[in-house]
Amino acid sequence: MNKHIHPLFFSIGRPMCVLGLLGAAGLAQAHEDWEGARADAHAPIGVMGDHVHKQGQWMVGYRYMPMHQEGLLDGSDSVSKQATYSSKDTGGYGYHNAPKDMDMAMHMVEIMYAPTDRWTLMAMLPYITMDMSSELHAHGDAAPVPYDMESDGLGDIALSGLFRLTPVNSAHQAILNLGLSLPTGSITEKDSMPHGHDGAPMQMRMEYPMQLGSGTYDLKPGITYTGQGERWSWGAQGIATIRTGENDEGYTLGNRTDLTGWVAYGWTPAVSTSLRLAAASWGNIDGQDKQISPTMSPAADPRAQGGDRVDVGLGANFYVPEGPLRGHRLGLEVLLPVAQRLDGPQLETDWAAVLGWQYAF
């Protein structure tokens, strides 16, 4: 278990109580039946696997999810690039390189189909682009050598079965999430990087955060609850990611836990806004890719990959209740970290966002 998980997760207690009070206020005005034709019938767009469909219904969707990371943390303390590649004898970490910033974007296509009123099947196909800027520690009086790495391609495809535990039309929906992530993303991505004393470019396997998948079949069990009132809606979800076995390159990514809770207010059937808290905890890597030297960079060190983070999300949903575009949904959510503790030095997250479209028929 990550040593930081308990104090960091306790830090969200008060905000979670606020969300709970707002949800309780909505319970007093809860409906008898679930209303699907309103903007807040779906969770904030950053939540996946939050709803089910009635028998025979399809849904297609697309999400664009950018994220920016910049600066280094060890625990909750900032770490300079100089300390990252300074020798251990002088109080540094002794790596050869130091990451500076990273941009990632995921394009996600989702397809849902309900063969029965109880079961909804879901497939999510991700395409990922990543760009990391780093610098190689120079020897002597020479300046550090900056360089960029890029990778892009298909990520790990996720297949899920969502089982409705509550009655079909209930204003309180409880869903059992049963997911499986397939190892379709590459874990052998390479790029040209400076190497050695003179910084000559060389094709090398990129660091763990620049790889496109886990290389293992990953179980993703979880549970989701959503409730609905006259104007308010609310929900909570817990999802685990459990790695199975070791991948072909000799390592296993750390397990992950994601917890989130939200409230939303419907200004009209077409527009709602939301407030969400999301807490994530993920472990370090077990094993090592023999083609990635752990002394090259903290991003290449299996012991510097775990961490915990709490984000606050501000979102808006838009729904078309009538006309030729009836049933189309748009969602936008911006996520800002309020607490981070990382096994580092490791790049900290500055912000993330989700923009999505969904259409059920």
pLDDT tens profile 197-246? 666 788 999 999 999 999 999 999 999 999 999 999 999 999 999 999 99
Res 189 pLDDT > 90: yes
DSSP state, 170? B
Confidence of residue 31 (pLDDT cuts 50, 70, 90): low
**Which is more confidently placed, 171 or 24?**
171
Strand partners, 48: none
Confidence of residue 196 (pLDDT cuts 50, 70, 90): low
Confidence of residue 3 (pLDDT cuts 50, 70, 90): very low
- Measure the CA–CA gap between 202 and 192, rounded to whole angstroms: 5
Q: pLDDT tens digits, residue range 40-71?
A: 999 999 999 999 999 999 999 999 999 999 99
Contact between 284 and 302 under an 8 Å Cβ cutoff? The reply is: yes
Res 136 pLDDT > 80: yes
Per-residue pLDDT at 26: 45
Residue 169: helix, strand or coil by DSSP? coil
Query: What's the domain count of the chain?
Result: 1
DSSP state, 299? G
Question: What number is the average pLDDT over the span 272-290?
Answer: 97
Res 143 pLDDT > 90: no
Res 81 pLDDT > 90: no
The DSSP H or E segment spanning 82 is helix 81-85
- Which candidate, 3, 178, 156, 184, places its Cα nearest to that of 76? 3
Contact between 151 and 164 under an 8 Å Cβ cutoff? The reply is: no
Average pLDDT, the chain: 90
Q: pLDDT tens digits, residue range 174-186?
A: 999 999 999 999 9
Question: What number is the average pLDDT over the span 77-95?
Answer: 86
The pTM (predicted TM-score) of the whole model is: 0.89
Res 38 pLDDT > 80: yes
First to last CA, the chain: 43
Which residue segment(s) compose the domain that 72 sits in? Answer: 5-360
CATH number at residue 61: 2.40.128.130
- Measure the CA–CA gap between 327 and 43, rounded to whole angstroms: 15
Per-residue pLDDT at 198: 63
Residue 220, phi then psi, degrees to nearest 5? -135, 70
Per-residue pLDDT at 113: 98
Residue 27, phi then psi, degrees to nearest 5? -60, -35
Confidence of residue 344 (pLDDT cuts 50, 70, 90): confident
